[in-house]
Amino acid sequence: MTTIKPEVISDPRVLSERLAALRREGKTIGLVPTMGALHEGHLSLVRQSKSLCDVTVVSIFVNPTQFAPGEDYEKYPRVLDADLARLDSVGGVEFVLAPAPKDMYPEGFDAHVHIGGVTRRLEGEFRPTHFDGVAVVVLKLFNISGADIAFFGQKDYQQAAVIQKMVRDLNLSVKIRVCPIVREEDGLAMSSRNKYLSPGERKEAPVLKRALDLARKMIADGATDPAQVKHEMRTLIGSAPSAAIDYISIADPDTLDELDRIDGKAVVLLAVKIGATRLIDNMIVP
């Protein structure tokens, strides 16, 4: 059996032309947007796209507009050859869009996309410009690819909510598929930033998942007061010497508004620094 090797394209206009021709043939297009440093979480999205679409496109682009000054844009891993090898191991990816920043943001670029509501809290408080950068690059990827379905991971829960709102508010035709979190054996959610953790910090990092499991158990056992649940989560996370909590939220799964009382479906979200590495995770609880 011959493995399909992806065609790597840097020019968005070239990819648009190739995909437009395939759409005229009746092919459906799946898009997996990534910033590279691919891991099994990304590959699970690729497999979903392959199962539902005729053609799969993976974008690999470290997007400068979603990083604020002082964040890790410069040191974010850029390992295109390793990423292509990982995609080869899965097979069935027809195209990889791997542009340079100047290809996505040519000289004179001055367009902005702002999605309100779900961007105001959580990551939006700690990274005020982040989702504007996410929205503009994802909208460009939708336009470049003409994708029928785009695949995102639940680990970036708020990001997926922002993209879904953008699709609704702007009447975009692409469908959004949010796929489950993929975890390491010890429960840590897979993330490109896990590589930043020292060996000692890596041993502490699964405390995030343990805190989410604690919240799920408390709610399943009848806890209805978010403050009580968050207090117990903070105590557990505080047992990790390197941990510093940015936020813990128990929120409405659709609006991300903080809940005063847990009496239905909720999402528990957290952001925690382990040493200098900022990790996010979440869990939907019934």
Q: pLDDT digit string (tens) for 209-231?
A: 999 999 999 999 999 999 999 99
Per the CATH hierarchy, to which homologous superfamily does domain 7-179 belong? HUPs (3.40.50.620)
pLDDT, tens only, 147-201: 999 999 999 999 999 999 999 999 999 999 999 999 999 999 999 999 999 999 9
Tokens standing for residue 152: 């995102």
Catalytic residues, by residue number, are 42
Give domain 192-285's CATH architecture: 2-Layer Sandwich (3.30)
**pLDDT band, residue 3 (cuts 50/70/90):** low
SS3 103: helix
CA distance 62 to 73: 8
**pLDDT band, residue 5 (cuts 50/70/90):** confident
The residues near 225 (Cβ < 8 Å, ≥ 6 apart) are 261, 262
**pTM for the predicted model, two decimal places:** 0.96
Domain ranges of the chain: 7-179, 192-285
Asked if pLDDT for residue 260 goes beyond 50, the answer is: yes
